[in-house]
Structure 1
Amino acid sequence: MSLEQFNGLVTVFERDHALARDIIHQAHNHAPDAWSALTAPQRGRLHLWAHQALPRQLVASGRAVRSDPTEEFSSQILSPLLAQPSAEHAAILEELAKQTGSVWLRTEAAQMRNAVRAQQWRPPTAAEVREVLTAPSRRIIGSGEQLAAVMAEILEDVGDDLRADRALRWHRQRSHNGCPCPGRHGRAPAPRLPGRRGRCAEQRRAGLPGSRPGRGSRV
């Protein structure tokens, strides 16, 4: 339907709800294809109008009532969109769900996006599989076990890098110092100075004053 014709139809519907109900009834009974020329955005706009202007009547649970075409119009106008999944239709349903707060429309939009992704999916090539296997950052982690496996690989790689870097620095410093028997950092170990206990032992051996008596001596 052309934009001018559609805008005229919406104007009539907004001005006179009684006339709009009559048009919807007549189209339902005598012209089932009356809305076939509508585009997807036009269907979305008519659904929003019907949601606001033709609200459903609350019916007691368990009570059988006759279907009213005007009350079903808001959902029936979207039937072609629901039957043909596409990114455009999913976007329209999502926008309508935001404006109306409809859980049904939000669910339908999510299911439609999943269906579109399923249609567009293609199996990965062997090269892509190898790339994902060798690149933990490109994996999809869906469980704690998968996360632990990826973290273990990353930590192992970090450990290998640290060991390689330490060995390289040790080798360079050893070559720079030219020490055949290097200690830590390529230098000969410094002599250890006697502590308090060692000084006391030397004083006892030398018989110097201030030495602590042995376990069997008397003061």
Structure 2
Amino acid sequence: MYKVYGDYNSGNCYKVKLMLNLLGIAYEWQAIDILKGETQTPEFLAKNPNGKVPVLELEDGTCLWESNAILNFLADGSRYLPSEPRLRTQVLQWQFFEQYSHEPYVAVARFIQFYLDMPEERREEHAGCLKRGYKALDVMEQQLQRTSFLVGETFSIADVALYAYTHVAHQGGFDLEGYPGINAWLARVAGQEGYVGMLG
């Protein structure tokens, strides 16, 4: 059985949890408290020397890390990862967008506000994250005004990757009221068979 080391409130960890549930794969969840430094213990660093969650431990003890890499591993050969080269590349395109243009701002704003309760010394950083995060949301909105999912009309791991932090963006101070395409997409993702919530 797979074992997932993760923080229940982490969007990156939620990606893995959601994917496993969508695929109907049994797994064991090992809760890790990042605020208590549990990712920096020798035992954890032996599994991921980068000291971050999530980590997916396979039956043979092999450990995989980086949430989007884990999504690609889990979805390989399934309907959630297209085999056609152009579509598969578009999935990767959105995953890279999530890691470079979305997560550093939407997730960090949420971390500052939701995890840390907005300390005074990080308010300026939070404001910068909101500005850049809205830019990423604008890019998503443009696509989701045209298609039901991020890669055409088929739900894929591109949607899993970006759903994770977008659906809790309000916890970082983002207002999604002006994003009808994103809101309709959030509802479509939540309606997928096998869907489970972040704390579900």
Per the normalisation by structure 2, the TM-score is 0.29
| Higher-RCO chain (CA-CA 8 Å, sequence separation at least 6) | 2
Q: Which has the larger radius of gyration?
A: 1
Structure showing the higher helix proportion among its residues: 1
Per the normalisation by structure 1, the TM-score is 0.27
